[in-house]
Structures are given as C-alpha cells and as structure tokens.
Amino acid sequence: MSRIGVLMESDYFEPEIFYYRWRFAEEGYEVDFLTRLWDQDELTFTGHEYRAPFTVRQSLEDLDLDRYAALIVPSGMVSDRLRYSDDVDVLAPAVSLLQRAFRDRGTIKGIICHGMWLAAPIPEVVRGRKVVCHNNLVGDVRNMGAEYTDQDVVIDGDLVTGRTGRHAHLFARTIIDMLKGDRR
C-alpha cells in the first residue's frame, strides 16, 4: 500500500493541502483527495486563505480502505463540512469512513487541528488516547474522553494528531516515518 487518502471540502487550509500533495508524492506515495461528491462527477472547493480552487473527483463513500496506508483528516473547516448529515441519527459518510479506519489498526489515522471535529460523533475512537488539537478544541477532545497532550504532534499507536495546519510539515514527516517503519 503506497496510497494516502486526504479528506477534502471547502475552506481548506491551502498551505497544508498543497504541502501534502507534493510532500507525500516526493516520498513515493500516491495521494488521493477524497470527498462526498453528492452524486456529482467532481466538485471544486475553495480554500480559506486565498480562495484557491481545488477539484476533487474521488468519492469517500464506499471507499476500499484496504488500498490506503493512511487516512488524513486535515485542518480548517473541512471536517465540520464533512460531518454534515441530512438525518441527525445517521452518521455522515466521512464519519463512517473514519470509524471504519479506526477499526483497522494497520491504517494510520492522521487528524490535525480542527480535524478532530470529524471524530466528535464517534468519541469512542479517541477515548483514552493521547491527542493534540487546535487550542479551540481542547475542551471538545477532553469531553470526548481523549487525553490532551501539549505537543505539536502526538503519536498514540496508529493515531497521529497535530496541533494546527501550520504544523503540517511536522505532522506529514511523522506519518512518513511511521509508514516507512519508524513507529516511535
């Protein structure tokens, strides 16, 4: 498996997403940007900082997770938008995907900054685990039962968390090291 999935939606943090596109490829990984396509062939999202367009053609629904070595939930408003569900009693497809990923200890899960919002409907996946997140979400992760750890990047088994999108370089480096077998 030399493929990494990165979830996408509007209001993404451009420096982070563009960094992943090139940095993971530089290490030999194929990077797939995944979203809920809402019965469309593609969707174009705009970034938060510069309103840069980014087109996604790959659906996260019914995704074969066995094809991926890592799944990343990025910073910004991506996770808030992806956790939307028409029926509040049914998990959004992106939340279901993350839940499935957590069932597979072989898949590295990377959640950075506000990406932790995507785990809010399924708090059991982070309960009792060491994590870091944006300072604005510390109360949220504690309410989810996670152990907030004041570091820029935190590893807890198959889960890597990062403080903010501005730490994407440290976060990506950690994931790359883990994929190459260095699981500190």
pLDDT tens digits along 78-114:
999 999 999 999 999 999 999 999 999 999 999 999 9
Residue 19 carries which side chain, given as an amino acid letter?
Answer: Y
Tokens of 78: 């991506």
Each residue's pLDDT tens digit, 54-72: 999 999 998 999 999 999 9
CATH superfamily label, 3-179: Class I glutamine amidotransferase (GATase) domain (3.40.50.880)
What's the pTM value of the predicted model, to 2 decimals? 0.97
Q: What is the DSSP annotation of the chain?
A: --EEEEE--SSB-HHHHHHHHHHHHHTT-EEEEEE--TT-S-EEEEBSSS--EEEE-EE-TT--GGG-SEEEE-STTHHHHHT--SSTTS--HHHHHHHHHHH-TTSEEEEEGGGGGGGTT-GGGTTT-EE---GGGHHHHHHTT-EE--SSEEEETTEEEES-GGGHHHHHHHHHHHHTT---
Would you state the pLDDT for residue 183? 55
Quick: pLDDT tens for 1-38. Answer: 699 999 999 999 999 999 999 999 999 999 999 999 99
Residue-level pLDDT at 176: 98
Residue at 35: amino acid letter: T
